[in-house]
């Protein structure tokens, strides 16, 4: 073998090795901040008692005495669960293990919505985990809006600091009358404040909790550049350690019983410790936003001729 051929092959091998190391270690280069885990503060619920099958029933499995659920996406259907109760505020969390392998176009969502009750002016608080065009590369998109539709959304996107396909990680939403906080492994990545200056955009109507997997080929990966490749189906996501702690709507009452007539002490996330982030949580959120956020609607000048009020 000629020297230049040997040298070229050696350089190619080193380049491939470096790329492989870069990909495999991409999620290991961060030392995460220490935070008090909110997920330790609330009880867990089983899927057979807390949820009903929303769609794709044949792709849903309830396992381990109801403590775990797997949802699958294949050529025939995605699948989803919906909470049996509706909530005025609360803490909602799940430990999720995402599908391994090529995942472009796949969307795993853990979110709150009342679109079934208010189809033209619904509220929504979203955690959407979006598949990518590279192996084991997922991103998290958060969104929040009220009295509107997807077009009024306020999206922010983050890289994850771990491989979400290897084990379960916590994805959580804290929602009360003061703020909405999105957390990953108990680290706040985003806080959306409730302000009288823009009160109409803050979710306030009771919502159900959803856990779903579905085909987002039209938009999820690079704006729809990469769709779902069903050669790799089924795509299976695992949910466990589910927490639904909120003021549940009493369907026997027509009024907003939780926020008006029930004492706030009975609302699990309305106490003083949930009105604002601690210094520790603020520092952790600053770390996440500096290191991992790669899109915020507040920086999207082509989208907004006039920036939303809260961006100022």
Q: What span, in angstroms and rounded, lies between the C-alpha atoms of 235 and 191?
A: 31
Catalytic residue among 128, 156, 191, 243: 128
Cα 56 to Cα 79: distance, rounded to the nearest angstrom: 4
Q: Which two tokens stand for residue 98?
A: 């995402």
Q: Is 128 a catalytic residue?
A: yes
Cβ neighbour number for residue 162 with a 10 Å cutoff: 15
* Active-site residue list: 124, 128
């Amino acid at each position: 073998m000629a020297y230049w051929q040997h040298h070229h092959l050696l350089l190619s091998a080193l380049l491939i090795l470096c790329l492989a190391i870069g990909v495999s270690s991409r999620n290991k280069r961060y030392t995460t901040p220490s935070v008090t885990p909110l997920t330790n503060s609330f009880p867990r619920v089983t899927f057979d008692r807390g949820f009903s099958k929303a769609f794709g029933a044949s792709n849903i499995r309830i396992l381990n005495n109801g403590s775990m659920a797997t949802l699958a996406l294949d050529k025939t259907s995605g699948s989803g669960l919906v909470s049996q109760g509706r909530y005025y505020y609360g803490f909602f969390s799940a430990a999720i293990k995402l599908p391994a392998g090529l995942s472009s176009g796949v969307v795993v969502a853990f979110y709150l919505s009342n679109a079934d009750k208010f189809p033209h002016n619904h509220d929504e608080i979203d955690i959407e985990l979006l598949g990518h065009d590279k192996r084991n590369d997922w991103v998290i998109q958060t969104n929040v809006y009220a009295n509107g539709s997807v077009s009024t959304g306020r999206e922010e996107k983050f890289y994850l600091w771990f491989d979400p396909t290897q084990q379960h990680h916590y994805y959580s939403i804290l929602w009360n009358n003061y703020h909405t906080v999105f957390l990953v492994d108990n680290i706040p990545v985003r806080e959306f404040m409730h302000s009288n200056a823009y009160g109409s955009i803050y979710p306030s109507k009771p919502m159900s909790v959803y856990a779903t997997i579905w085909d987002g080929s039209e938009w999820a990966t690079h704006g729809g550049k990469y769709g779902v490749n069903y050669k790799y189906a089924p795509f299976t996501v695992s949910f466990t350690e589910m927490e639904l702690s909120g003021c549940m709507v009493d369907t026997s009452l027509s009024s907003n019983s939780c926020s008006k007539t029930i004492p706030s002490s009975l609302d699990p996330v309305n106490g003083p410790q949930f009105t604002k982030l601690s210094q520790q949580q603020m520092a952790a959120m600053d770390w996440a936003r500096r290191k991992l956020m790669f899109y915020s609607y507040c920086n999207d000048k082509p989208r907004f001729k006039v920036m939303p009020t809260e961006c100022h």
